[in-house]
Amino acid sequence: MDKSNNKLFIHRDMKPVTLEHSVEIILTPQFYTFIREDLDIRFAYQAKQIAASLFDDYLNASSEHQYHVNKCQNQWCFFAYNIEEIDKFLESVGIEKHRVSKIYFAQELENSLTHPIQLSEKNILQTIDGTVTLIPRQLMDSNLEFMPLDIEAVKLNSGITMGASLNSFISLKETILLSSLFLILGTIFIIEGSRIKSSVSNDEAIALQLTQKHSKYSDSGFRTNLLKKYQPIKKHELSKRQSIKDIAKLLSANSQLINLTIDKNAIKAAIKASNNNVAQQVNRNAKAKKLKSSMTGLNVKVEKKI
């Protein structure tokens, strides 16, 4: 095969070829069934959905077929083909699958085949009543002249790929629907993840600012030691001050402070009342303020552990 030839007619009588580059193949009617229908359908995918039912009466139900639909003028052109059969035949003539870049149907050459071309010694290809047809050579006039056809010059539009023609487990519609759902879901997860991460970034900035300003506090051990040092001071000193205030509230013209001491462990005070009633009142008030209190005659002793 000439290296410059990129398009190749595929027919049963063709001789084996040796390919060193990819080719676009044009299937002759031996490899497909063609129907042209005038249908009130707008989109190709809708036409493809009814393709199988159109070929019900023409095809052998025992073998699996693939369908291709394209709009031709104001009608719909339906093609049914068996990709496995084509694949086997291509192999038999030395064309490897990966060399086939595109598959076209000879029907696309409808306008170019108004005059017959010779495919092989046995068959010719010609458009008859708008349909590209394979005709046995013997049925034609022996003096028939063939017109040369430069298929490289013919522009073909409605091609299919070998892989795409094989059936996927999931339809394109389902793929689009499910993929969109997963993409939306994924995007939601990413947005949510970013939002969650950014929620802590403000705190991170504050922490960074604080540790930059007070670098010695960046060590958690050092912080713990400082807290161990200062927190008990705060607790004990506030307790001492509150106790002094509480004891001061127990004092009056009838109850005088005898002594008050603060040491490492406790704050203690002794109060002397002018009479028994006052002493009892002081004792009750001290207990109400959660001070340990005891009364001996007119003397009331109060105590609080630090």
The least distance separating other proteins from the CB of residue 124, rounded to whole angstroms, comes to 32
Contact 86, 10 (CB under 8 A): yes
> Which residue number, 112 or 165, has a Cβ lying nearer to other proteins?
165
Q: For other proteins, what does the binding mask look like between residues 229 and 258, x meaning CB under 8 A?
A: -xx-xx-xx--xx--xx--x-------xxx
Cα distance between residue 69 and residue 76, in whole Å: 7
* Binding-site member from 36, 172, 249, 284 for other proteins (CB under 8 A): 172
Cα distance between residue 284 and residue 290, in whole Å: 10
* Binding-site member from 39, 94, 111, 193 for other proteins (CB under 8 A): 193
Contact 220, 227 (CB under 8 A): no
The least distance separating other proteins from the CB of residue 122, rounded to whole angstroms, comes to 31
Contact 28, 46 (CB under 8 A): no
The count of residues interacting with other proteins (CB under 8 A) is 67
> Which single residue is written with the structure tokens 């522009």?
155
At a CB cut-off of 8 Å and minimum separation 6, what does 95 contact?
8, 17, 19, 23, 25
Cα distance between residue 68 and residue 22, in whole Å: 22
Contact 165, 66 (CB under 8 A): yes
> Which residue number, 155 or 234, has a Cβ lying nearer to other proteins?
234
* Binding-site member from 169, 296, 297, 305 for other proteins (CB under 8 A): 169
Q: Does 288 engage in binding with other proteins (CB under 8 A)?
A: no
Q: Does 199 engage in binding with other proteins (CB under 8 A)?
A: yes
> Which single residue is written with the structure tokens 């693939």?
66
The site for other proteins (CB under 8 A) is made up of 97-98, 100, 161-164, 166, 168-172, 174-175, 178-183, 185-190, 192-194, 196-197, 199-200, 203-204, 206-207, 210-211, 214, 217, 220, 223-224, 226-227, 230-231, 233-234, 236-237, 240-241, 244-245, 248, 256-264
